[in-house]
Amino acid sequence: MFLSVFDIFKIGIGPSSSHTMGPMVAAARFLDLLRGSRFHAHGLRARLHGSLAFTGVGHATDRAVILGFDGFEPESYEADAAEAALERIRAEHKVTPDGLGTLAFDPEQDLVFDYGAPLPGHSNGLVLMATDAQGDVILQETYYSVGGGFVATEAELSDDAPSAPQHPLPYPFNSAAALLETTRATGKTIAEIQRANELVHRSAAEIDRGIDRLWHVMAECIDRGLETTGTLPGGLNVRRRAPGLYAALQNERGLNLGPPHTVNDWISAYAMAVNEENAAGGQVVTAPTNGASGVVPAVIRYWLDQVPSATRARLPDLFLTAAAIGGLIKTNASISGAEAGCQAEVGSASAMAAAGLASVMGGTPAQVENAAEIALEHHLGMTCDPVKGLVQVPCIERNGLGAIKAISAASLSLRGDGHHLVPLDACIETLRQTGHDMSEKYKETSLGGLAVNVPNC
């Protein structure tokens, strides 16, 4: 299955692509289903399962469903309008989605956190229902938020579900080995192959405008995060650290006294700025998830600011290369922390960033694949155990370290000739197996690890 650069990178809201964006998208899909049905609904209900139940409040899943039922969607989300809508819904117990009139919905009664066994399809499951005037369910659908803002129904996850027809691609690939073989056979780069496949669905101008928009949102997010001070919401009282770190680094500029490794602090400042914005519910770009949304922007900002040969004209190549790698990981393993731990989120982001950076710094396709493998390999086994279910500790700092690893991986690959022992495909398969074997306690439920060994207040 082909995944576009605009599937892997999506504009949305924090704090979580799987727990905030996904449920909001699911609610929007359910409203569309209701609009197309023969039923006249009186009210709505929702039931959250698995990780959505256990960490839903910390990840703002409840807010996402409430607002989704009122017609809000991630890409067009407006914070002030959302706050006003939440206040109205909680007071009036009604939502007003376009085309469906006024529907009864009391968040206290109609939004249920089910802490029993997770639904069979995925650990992030939710059941959405429409009811008649007597309260009987007249329409129901089960959705799974599978990471990165992607949502699938129960039928769509089943092996025998009919798949949507796909346009033939000039260069199809479903593994890194196949991708590298195509580069050898055609003489094209990974970015050129991804672009050729993108052109089946969009014009060249649309691709470039879309990528420019993605970077614009990323850059604005970094700048907001470097300027905004205060304490993050949620009750942990985590102070925003990116502005102070950035100010200190600016003051040290030009002194010729700092050690060379200070560049790591710049990279961390950029990544932490993004993830502090994400934790505060701000606008971010999933890359490939919200929890890992700081890695790719930090690497890009480092490249543009610190590498003399960098040029904005090469940004599309970086994004397209990163998307090709992210698509392979999502297709053959997972990008969901609830499914495979943080190795699937920050690990995937680091691999994508490493590949993208290696590509724009002159790497061959083999070196680019090597960069992705190095970055992913050294995140294998990483758990997802957010304290209090918030995308803050250890998530914010972890993005900084993921970005640093990505740059180191790209640098190591460029020092070699592309030949290496562990293929990227083997590393991706190891991620899948490790995620399958990992205890549920360490997969975003906040039932183990740091989440139970660090005080929640």
For range 166-185, the mean pLDDT: 95
What is the DSSP track for 170-193? Answer: SS--SSHHHHHHHHHHH---HHHH
Assess if residue 12 is contained within a domain: no
For range 86-113, the mean pLDDT: 97
As given in the structure block, the two tokens for residue 296 are 């790719």
Assess if residue 8 is contained within a domain: no
**Which residue did the predictor score with more confidence, 254 or 60?**
60
Q: What is the DSSP letter of 454?
A: S
Bridge partners of 283, per DSSP, are 13
Assess if residue 162 is contained within a domain: no
What is the DSSP track for 254-320? Answer: T-S-S-GGGHHHHHHHHHHHHHHHHHTT-EEEESS-STTTTHHHHHHHHHHHH-TT--GGGHHHHHH
Residues 149 and 265 in one domain: no
Question: Tell me: the pLDDT tens digits for 190-201?
Answer: 999 999 999 999
Domain count, the chain: 2
Report the Cα 135 to chain-centroid distance in Å. Answer: 36
Q: State the pLDDT at residue 55.
A: 92
Residues 202 and 133 in one domain: no
Bridge partners of 331, per DSSP, are none
Q: State the pLDDT at residue 347.
A: 98
* 167 has pLDDT over 90: no
Report the Cα 388 to chain-centroid distance in Å. Answer: 20
Residues 184 and 243 in one domain: yes
Residues 148 and 186 in one domain: no
Q: State the pLDDT at residue 75.
A: 87
Assess if residue 337 is contained within a domain: yes
* 164 has pLDDT over 70: no
For range 318-324, the mean pLDDT: 98
The answer to whether residues 325 and 355 touch, using CB atoms and an 8 Å cutoff, is yes
Residues 106 and 241 in one domain: no
Q: State the pLDDT at residue 406.
A: 98
The answer to whether residues 30 and 154 touch, using CB atoms and an 8 Å cutoff, is no
Residues 222 and 326 in one domain: yes
Residues 226 and 371 in one domain: yes
pTM, rounded to two decimals: 0.92
CB atoms within 10 A of CB 205: 8
Residues near 226 by beta carbon (within 8 Å), at least 6 away in sequence = 242, 243, 246, 269, 270, 273
Residue 42: C-alpha distances to residues 45, 96, 107, 130 (Å):
11, 11, 15, 7
Confidence class of residue 308 from pLDDT cuts 50, 70 and 90?
very high
The CA-based angle 364-368-370, given to 5 degrees, is: 115
Which amino acid would we find at residue 35?
R
Question: Tell me: the pLDDT tens digits for 202-212?
Answer: 999 999 999 99
d(CA 103, CA 100): 7
Assess if residue 6 is contained within a domain: no
Residues 304 and 415 in one domain: yes
Q: State the pLDDT at residue 159.
A: 60
* 161 has pLDDT over 80: no
Question: Tell me: the pLDDT tens digits for 374-396?
Answer: 999 999 999 999 999 999 999 99
Question: Tell me: the pLDDT tens digits for 115-138?
Answer: 999 999 999 999 999 999 999 999
Which H/E stretch holds residue 210?
Answer: helix 204-227
Residues 320 and 419 in one domain: yes
The CA-based angle 254-257-263, given to 5 degrees, is: 75
Confidence class of residue 165 from pLDDT cuts 50, 70 and 90?
low
% helix, strand, coil for the chain, step of 5: 55, 10, 35
Q: Which CATH number do you get for residue 115? A: 3.30.1330.90
Residues near 288 by beta carbon (within 8 Å), at least 6 away in sequence = 8, 9, 17, 147, 148, 326, 329, 330, 335, 345, 348, 349, 352
Confidence class of residue 354 from pLDDT cuts 50, 70 and 90?
very high
**Which residue did the predictor score with more confidence, 159 or 256?**
256
Which of 68-82, 295-309, 314-328 shows the lowest mean pLDDT across its residues?
68-82
d(CA 273, CA 294): 8
Which amino acid would we find at residue 141?
E
Assess if residue 168 is contained within a domain: no
* Percent of all residues in the chain with a pLDDT value above 70, rounded to a whole number: 98
Residues 71 and 25 in one domain: yes
d(CA 75, CA 25): 10
Question: Tell me: the pLDDT tens digits for 400-427?
Answer: 999 999 999 999 999 999 999 999 999 9
* 160 has pLDDT over 90: no
Assess if residue 4 is contained within a domain: no
For range 415-444, the mean pLDDT: 97
d(CA 268, CA 398): 9
The answer to whether residues 144 and 151 touch, using CB atoms and an 8 Å cutoff, is yes
Residues 302 and 379 in one domain: yes
Residues near 84 by beta carbon (within 8 Å), at least 6 away in sequence = none
Residues 32 and 66 in one domain: yes
Mean pLDDT over the full length of the chain: 95
As given in the structure block, the two tokens for residue 304 are 């543009």
Peptide bond before residue 288 is cis, with ω within 30 degrees of 0: yes
The answer to whether residues 328 and 179 touch, using CB atoms and an 8 Å cutoff, is yes
* Domain final residue, candidates 104, 125, 157: 157
* Domain final residue, candidates 101, 130, 157: 157
* Domain final residue, candidates 129, 157, 185: 157
Of 301, 404, 289, 307, which is closest to residue 350 (Cα–Cα)?
404
For range 354-362, the mean pLDDT: 98
Confidence class of residue 456 from pLDDT cuts 50, 70 and 90?
confident
Q: Which domain holds residue 91?
A: 18-157
d(CA 355, CA 195): 16
The answer to whether residues 442 and 384 touch, using CB atoms and an 8 Å cutoff, is yes
Assess if residue 170 is contained within a domain: no
As given in the structure block, the two tokens for residue 435 are 């995620």
